[in-house]
């Protein structure tokens, strides 16, 4: 495909996206696993201008420590939200690697990630940081939103960075990380420009803290107006996406293309052992495990064209996902409780 492009990797349960242009490379979120490194080498990428870490959850940051210390890559800047609530080995490993990368490789690591950050420009492509706002960021995870807005306690998800990719003033994609109702309400109050053709749905389509799942999905989808909505999931992990969220997406958007990176166990209890002919020839965790549904996605930023092909994906779902949630199937699917789902 032609540059510039946005690649949303199938890395299982987690998020990882790459903006690749002639003028540079920006990565948003680095989960654990080799899929990102395989993709970078498949594109001949060894220089990375910027890595944005949306928030401190392991499925967004666990792969950054080894990447920072991998001498095969040159990384210039890292932007991340500081998170005093994280007392995990993953977060400590990242902190140690960041310190070493600053000293050894002169990587510029900044914890000043928020809506006040200037857009990152790669030629005609612009990467905007829409959230967290200054008011939320000043409280930080574990703090509270302002009393006039409810004074709710915030988590790492509330402070997730929301990233929008715009090309030649055409809004192409919104990467919504794991935002919850606190973050969405803040975006609504600030009338942030969320419009985009592609939405990577927050929290993998799992239960939304502080909100009704369906109402949250409806508000977000109407604000974005996407034609393609992607859920970055791992088969059998946390039973995502939830049926009521898919139903709300279908109700809020005219004829949306709904796609999961891997085949949800909700849609097919038995994983079909067949060749996924529609998937791209690109690194993807689901390809290794034969669990692909839509798989790794690539969007040509100049045209907005998305691959794989929608018709090929729909044919696979129709033939191999008897209890599919998309293609109008969510309305009849049971919305079970949130037990055993991601917090």
Angle between helices 243-252 and 213-224 (to 10 degrees): 30
3-state secondary structure at position 264: coil
Quickly list H helices, 197-309. Answer: 213-224, 243-252, 285-289
How far apart are the C-alpha atoms of 57 and 53, rounded to whole Å?
9
Position 339 in a domain: no
pLDDT category of residue 337 using cuts at 50, 70 and 90: very low
33 DSSP 8-state letter: S
For residue 329, give Cα distances in angstroms to 65, 311, 321, 333: 41, 17, 10, 7
Position 154 in a domain: yes
Interval 201-236: pLDDT, tens: 999 999 998 899 999 999 999 999 999 999 999 998
Task: Please state whether the peptide bond connecting residue 241 to the residue before it is cis, i.e. omega within 30 degrees of 0.
Answer: yes
- How many CA atoms lie within 13 Å of 55's alpha carbon, on the beta-carbon side? 29
Which run of H or of E encompasses 77? Answer: strand 74-80
Question: Which pair of tokens denotes residue 79?
Answer: 């932007």
C-beta of residue 19 within 8 angstroms of C-beta of residue 25: yes
The pLDDT of residue 239 is 86
C-beta of residue 233 within 8 angstroms of C-beta of residue 205: yes
3-state secondary structure at position 216: helix
The residue segments making up the domain with residue 230 are 5-332
Residue 54 has pLDDT above 60, yes or no: yes
Q: What's the pTM value of the predicted model, to 2 decimals?
A: 0.95
Q: What is the mean pLDDT of residues 262-273?
A: 95
Residue 266 backbone dihedrals phi, psi, to 5 degrees: -65, -30
Q: For the sheet containing 162-167, what is the strand order?
A: 120-122, 125-131, 162-167, 170-175, 198-200, 228-231, 257-260
Position 340 in a domain: no
Provide the domain count of the chain: 1
pLDDT category of residue 81 using cuts at 50, 70 and 90: confident
Which run of H or of E encompasses 104? Answer: helix 89-105
C-beta of residue 232 within 8 angstroms of C-beta of residue 204: yes
Interval 247-261: pLDDT, tens: 999 999 999 999 999
Tell me whether residue 25 is exposed, middle or buried, using C-beta atoms within 10 angstroms of its C-beta: 0 to 12, 13 to 18, 19 or more.
Answer: buried
Q: What is the mean pLDDT of residues 326-331?
A: 72
How far apart are the C-alpha atoms of 205 and 187, rounded to whole Å?
19
Position 41 in a domain: yes
251: domain CATH number? Answer: 3.60.15.10
How far apart are the C-alpha atoms of 308 and 298, rounded to whole Å?
8
Position 223 in a domain: yes
Position 343 in a domain: no
Nearest by Cα to 129 from 108, 113, 141, 144 = 113
Nearest by Cα to 104 from 79, 70, 80 = 70
């Amino acid at each position: 495909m032609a540059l510039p492009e946005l690649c949303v990797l199938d890395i299982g349960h987690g998020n990882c996206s790459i903006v690749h242009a002639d003028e540079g490379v920006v990565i948003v979120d680095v989960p654990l696993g080799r899929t990102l490194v395989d993709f970078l080498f498949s594109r001949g990428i060894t220089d990375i201008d910027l890595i944005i870490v949306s928030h401190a959850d392991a499925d967004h940051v666990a792969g950054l420590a080894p990447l920072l210390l991998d001498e095969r890559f040159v990384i210039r800047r890292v932007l991340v939200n500081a998170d005093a609530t994280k007392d995990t080995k993953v977060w400590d490993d990242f902190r140690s690697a960041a310190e070493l990368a600053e000293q050894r490789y002169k990587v510029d690591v900044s914890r000043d990630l928020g809506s006040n950050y200037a857009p990152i420009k790669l030629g005609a492509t612009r990467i905007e940081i829409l959230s967290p706002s200054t008011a939320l960021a000043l409280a930080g995870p574990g703090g509270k939103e302002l009393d006039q807005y409810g004074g709710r306690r915030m988590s790492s998800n509330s402070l997730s960075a929301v990233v929008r990719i715009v090309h030649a003033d055409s809004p192409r994609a919104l990467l919504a990380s794991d935002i919850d109702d606190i973050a969405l309400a803040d975006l609504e109050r600030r009338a942030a420009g969320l419009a985009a053709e592609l939405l990577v749905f927050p929290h993998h389509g799992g239960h939304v803290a502080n909100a009704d799942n369906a109402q949250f999905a409806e508000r977000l989808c109407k604000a974005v107006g996407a034609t393609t909505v992607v859920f970055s999931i791992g088969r059998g992990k946390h039973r995502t996406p939830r049926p009521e969220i898919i139903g709300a997406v279908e109700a809020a958007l005219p004829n949306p293309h709904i796609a999961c990176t891997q085949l949800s166990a909700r849609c097919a209890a038995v994983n079909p052992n067949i060749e996924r002919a529609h998937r791209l020839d690109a690194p993807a965790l689901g390809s290794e495990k034969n669990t692909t549904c839509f798989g790794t996605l690539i969007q040509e930023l100049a045209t907005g064209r998305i691959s794989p092909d929608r018709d090929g994906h729909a044919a696979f779902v129709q033939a191999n996902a008897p209890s599919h949630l998309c293609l109008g199937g969510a309305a009849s699917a049971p919305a079970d409780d949130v037990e055993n789902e991601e917090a």
